[in-house]
Amino acid sequence: PLGVIATADSKIADPLPTPSKTKAKTRSVVFIDGEFDGSELKKTDAEWKKDLSPAEFYVMREDGTEEPYTGALDKNKKTGTYHCAACGLVLFKSDAKYDSQTGWPSFFQVAFKKNVIEIEDRSLSEVRTEVECARCKAHLGHVFDDGPQPTGLRYCMNSVSLKFKEQK
């Protein structure tokens, strides 16, 4: 049967080992606070597996999705910035976050348009727009056109794909 991986960030339903069989590892993410400069970060799957937790790898490299209402950042109300959990590029600011009541962190705009890539996704029966990190091509979530003003957009992100940097 499929196991559920529990991390500090979220639960992911996928066929990876259960947490008791997975070594915990710590790593630091260098936060990049500005607009994407065009320098892409390229790694092999083997390198990503060394650098990411099993849950992060499943979502960000295999286009997985965490279960709703399980991510640590869904209810986060602190002031700061949200960065790509894989490479540290700034993606969203807390003043654009809102409670979409979907169970995933949601934002009505990105910090810098150049920091994300939007791709047509036809993997399900509906057409959606996938959102990736422009620097490392990590899968972050999807954007929909049912969000609040001023943009009308809902960037619905996987919590495990994000790292939060609190403003001091």
Query: Would you please indicate which residues are annotated as catalytic (active-site) residues?
Result: 156
Beta bridge partners of 119: 130
For tokens 């910090």, the residue is 111
* DSSP count for the chain of H helices, then E strands: 2, 11
Cβ neighbour number for residue 62 with a 10 Å cutoff: 12
Structure tokens at 145: 């056109």
CB 145 within 8 A of CB 128: no
Structure tokens at 71: 């991510």
Burial 44-57 (b: 16+ CB within 10 A, else e): eeeebeeebbbbbb
Diameter over CA atoms, the chain: 46
